[in-house]
Amino acid sequence: MKAIQINATVNLNNGLQIPSGSVVVIAEGLAQVFATKDGLIPAQIVSNVYTTKDNYETGKAPVDGNSISDFNPAMYNLQLSVASYETVTAETLLVEAVYNNLDAVYPGNCVIIDVTAPVPVTESELISE
């Protein structure tokens, strides 16, 4: 699975910062295909921000999106090209849209990486603890 790593500090509303290496993972995306205009599809993408790749992969909670001052993890008014929508995977389309949005905030400090989704904890594992 793909995610975006931010190799710059991320500022929070309370004055604290997330050190370089935070990871942005796509939570959901909406492409409004019915509203296509001039070869572009309006889109909204919600992402989650984790302080590290390891924190995502081990199932830790994401950073509260409302606490991030540099950007909004709920990205509205994005544009997807119809040509890309018809030829690339949804994962690639969404990750590249978020990457482009974040690269405008942190120029040259974002990279697309591979991450492993955390293994969900089963009910029997919770009971045995």
The string of DSSP letters for 22-65 reads EEEEEEEEEE-GGG-BTTEEEEEEEEEEESSHHHHHTTPPPBPG
Total domain count for the chain? 1
Compute φ and ψ for 117, nearest 5 degrees: -60, 140
Average pLDDT over residues 81-89: 94
Place of tokens 């089963």: 122
Does the pTM surpass 0.85? The reply is: yes
Residue 7 domain boundaries? 2-128
pLDDT of residue 122: 62
* Cα gap 32→30, rounded to integer Å: 6
**Residue-wise pLDDT tens digits, 36-53:** 999 999 999 999 999 999
